Amino acid sequence: MGVSFTKMHGLGNDFVILDGRTTPLSPSTTLISRLCDRRTGIGCDQLVTLSAPTRDGADVRVSFFNPDGSEAGACGNASRCVAALLGGSPTLQTQNGLLPTSQKNGLISVLMGTPHLDWQTIPLARECDTARLPLHDGAACSMGNPHLTLFRSIEDAAALGPVLETDPLFPERANIGFAEILSPTHIRLRVWERGAGLTLACGSGACAAVVNAARRGLVERTCRVTMECGSLTITWQDDGSVLMTGPAQTVFTGTLDESWLEKGQTTTP
């Protein structure tokens, strides 16, 4: 039999979700790349797998894979999609810890955890003031994955994104956000994601942009972050955690053909 999948997106940031809670999945780097390919696969920004949780308080374990096969520690848009797929208010187990979710009026909220602001925990290659880096005067934090936010035109994303993703200052590479401050409560954002390239939206990048802009006194702690296909509401709460709220949409479901699957490992032996 083939493997069932669900194609979903959050503001255009799209995902293929494989449910391995009953039958464990172990996608190879080759299979991940093939699934993400928009011509010969299904096509997506990231592959997401679900598995049985291993921590108390979690309803499902969620893993996020970039098209190059690398694993991301967090993905805000995919987290909303998983919550929408499962229904109710599931708590997601991720590399960035447990992420509680809730749903109201067709929108999904995810408590994304507390940003890491220290240079060692982002991580950076050397000690720096993470609110004012010696790199295009940007600011950095981690939302489970490293983010550099630059306060400049989003039109610079395609040219500068791939260069800065691999800058030596970021030993684990970085997601690069280009943030235009439109008002104290509104940011326009474009993100170059490590391992994926330009995406229409980035949930963790939106969280990082609000955190980094608020640290610089450029915005308030609750902001609308507008990307190519819509907006998220991000609140950096008084307790230090970041709440993200926005939509998620199922596109279609299907089954991967057995003959196609034979070219890449999908399940453990």
Q: Which amino acid is at 33?
A: S
| HEC letters along 162-210 | HHHHCCCCCCCCCEEEEEEEEECCEEEEEEEECCCEEECCCHHHHHHHH
At residue 126, the 3 state secondary structure works out as coil
Closest-CA residue to 195 (of 103, 65, 82): 65
Distance between CA atoms of residues 254 and 200, nearest Å: 24
Distance between CA atoms of residues 168 and 87, nearest Å: 41
- Strand 186-193 and strand 222-227: pairing? parallel
Distance between CA atoms of residues 264 and 71, nearest Å: 17
Find out whether 67 and 46 touch, Cβ atoms under 8 Å.
yes
Active site residues: 75, 202
Residue with tokens 């108390």: 56
Residue with tokens 């067709």: 106
